Structure 1
Amino acid sequence: MTDTTPPDDTTRTETDRPAVLVPLAVLEGQSLPTGTPDLLANARVVLLGYHVIPEQTAAEQARAQFGETAMAKLEAFAGALANAGATVETRLVFTHDERTTIDRLIYEHECLAVLVPNGIERVESVLVALRGTVGVGRNTCLVAGLFAESDVDVTLYHALNESETIADGESFLNGVRADLVERGMDPERIEVVVEEAEAAVDAIARHGESHDAVVMGETDPSVTTFVFGMPSEQVAERFLGPVLVVQRERPEE
């Protein structure tokens, strides 16, 4: 594991930075997409290079054969993130189960979010899709941590459920907006959108088309299944840009 700290970083401490896991299939040709360093310039990035190996292959054997090549690629990606301003920790893992590995590292490094790393030319606006009150504080911590010191516009979006009124939805999002402002965000850069939608995922995709990145919570299992249950190219086809999936807080064992 390698720690990379950007030069002259005097304005933010390590604890101020939201932790984001960025998983890359480093030996399968997956690279750091365009725009990722700018998107995560204010983050503590856990850069995971992973390679799925056959059940009969030992991780130590794969590391001995491919570790040097994989680590060289990972260090180059870490350098690009650090040059943009992020602090970076790198992990290289040879695994038989990528989802188990990703889940384990989320909790080991206390990551607020996982990035579905699709490319984008620039980050000027972000859609934050919120489905419920559980875990909202983690969403605001991530959004403010990444964008409070930037000129990024944020749209808070909520699709009503059957028991909610427009007034309920607006009250919910205005509370989130107040929290973001308290965390240092410019209120003029925060828009609130509430609507009735038959399929929340379709609505998020539709609104996401007019933004550069999407933030969505893991509080709704259907949203989690959508993001991680489809190949990355299908996610890119729907959203066209990077997706930050805010993770549930790990329950006390």
Structure 2
Amino acid sequence: MLVPVDVLGGQSVPRTVVDAFASVPVTLLAYREIPDQIATSHARDQYGDRARAELEELRSVFEDAGCVDVSTRLVFTHDRLKTFERVAVDEDCHAVLMLNPAPKLESVLVAIRGDVNLEYIADLLGTLLTGTDLEVTFFRVIGDESDRDAADELVETAADELEAADVDRDRIHAQVTLEGSPTQAILAAAAEHDMLVLGESRPSIRRFIFRDRAKTLARGTVDPVLVIRGEYLEDGEDGEEHGNEGAEADESDENGG
């Protein structure tokens, strides 16, 4: 899981999130977005030591919580969104966590857009939920009552897949709602939960996470948002060069970052 953190901006990872995801490998991405007129090398020279100290402190929090596989990246960049995409691909991260405060973490809302990633989403959720008591609600928005039967089948299939990943059925719920605006329906439902989970669509992680509906959802909710990457995403699939961000200063740690 990729966890981008603006360490120099005072952002931190809620302890509830640290504890919930201690069972999965984590890449902590300490980043700082800087104006175009400032060279990344200059920013690194000026702020690098402070950022590294903050990053190491955050890493120790994850390790103290029992996370045995924590790698780190430190990036000064002119485009944080491209950086998130590149690092997620470079590190083969299965999900990207967009941080928001999480005073409690007891229930997760999983917004289902289609069945393309159901097995993949359920498999990853099963891993994430290991060692937790989190409850999960699969949520599907329909625009017409005639779509309800198919939607009911879809969320029940998702629940079956998660149960097959060794999550107790009594922790899994399914909900279908009729609403003209899927975004507003998801935000309203997310307000009743502690984390929102979205599945990625083609063609690129950046296009899904940071544009259109998902961007609105990430900004509109006060909860952490976990975006699960599609396993079909490959480098360069959408014609973009993930490994060449131009003006960016990046360093990794010795543990695979």
Q: Residues 44-66 of structure 1, C-alpha deviation per residue, up to 9 Å, x if partnerless?
A: 11110111233343333322221
Q: What is the 5 A alignment of 1:18-97?
A: 20-86=1-67, 87-97=69-79
Q: Which residue of 1 aligns with 2:89?
A: 107
User: Is the alpha carbon distance of 1:230 and 1:28 closer, same or farther for their aligned partners in structure 2, counting shifts above 3 Å?
Assistant: farther
C-alpha separation in 1, matches of 2:226 and 2:4: 12
Q: CA separation in 2, counterparts of 1:228 and 1:177?
A: 22
Q: 1:31 to 1:223 in 2, by over 3 A?
A: closer
Provide the secondary structure at the position in 2 that maps to 1:35. helix
Q: Does 1:144 align with 2:129?
A: no
SS in structure 2 at match of 1:150? coil
Query: C-alpha root-mean-square deviation of aligned residues, in Å?
Result: 2.4
1:190 aligned onto 2:176: no
Map of 1:116-155 to 2, 5 A cutoff? 116-155=98-137
Mapped contact 2:145–2:178 kept (Cα < 8 A): no
Alpha-carbon offset, residue 224 of structure 1: 5.0
Taking structure 1 as reference, are residues 76 and 222 closer, same or farther at Cα in structure 2, changes over 3 Å only?
A: closer
1:55-91, CA deviations, whole angstroms, 9 ceiling, x for partnerless residues? 3433333222211100100111111122222231110
Secondary structure (helix, strand or coil) at the match of 2:105 reads: coil
- Asked whether the equivalents of residues 34 and 119 of structure 1 are also in contact (C-alpha less than 8 Å), the reply is no
TM-score for the superposition, normalised by structure 2: 0.81
Query: Which stretches in structure 1 are left out of the alignment for 5+ residues?
Result: 1-19
| Segments ≥4 residues shifted beyond 4 Å | 161-164, 220-224
SS at match of 1:46: strand
DSSP 3-state at the match of 1:216: strand
Per-residue deviation, residues 128-170 of structure 1 (Å, max 9, x unmatched): 1111112223321221111143211111111125595222111
Secondary structure of 1:27 counterpart: helix
Task: For residues 211-233 of structure 1, give each alpha carbon's deviation from its aligned partner in whole angstroms, at most 9, with x where no partner exists.
Answer: 1111112228777525764597x
Q: Is the 8 A contact 1:21 1:48 kept in 2?
A: yes
- Counterparts in 2 of 1:33 and 1:154: CA distance versus 1, 3 Å: same
Number of aligned positions between the proteins: 230
Q: Structure 1 residue 246: deviation in Å? A: 1.5
Between the aligned residues of both structures, percent identity stands at 33
Q: Distance in 2 between matches of 1:228 and 1:93?
A: 24
The separation in 1 between residues aligned to 2:118 and 2:146, in whole angstroms, is: 17
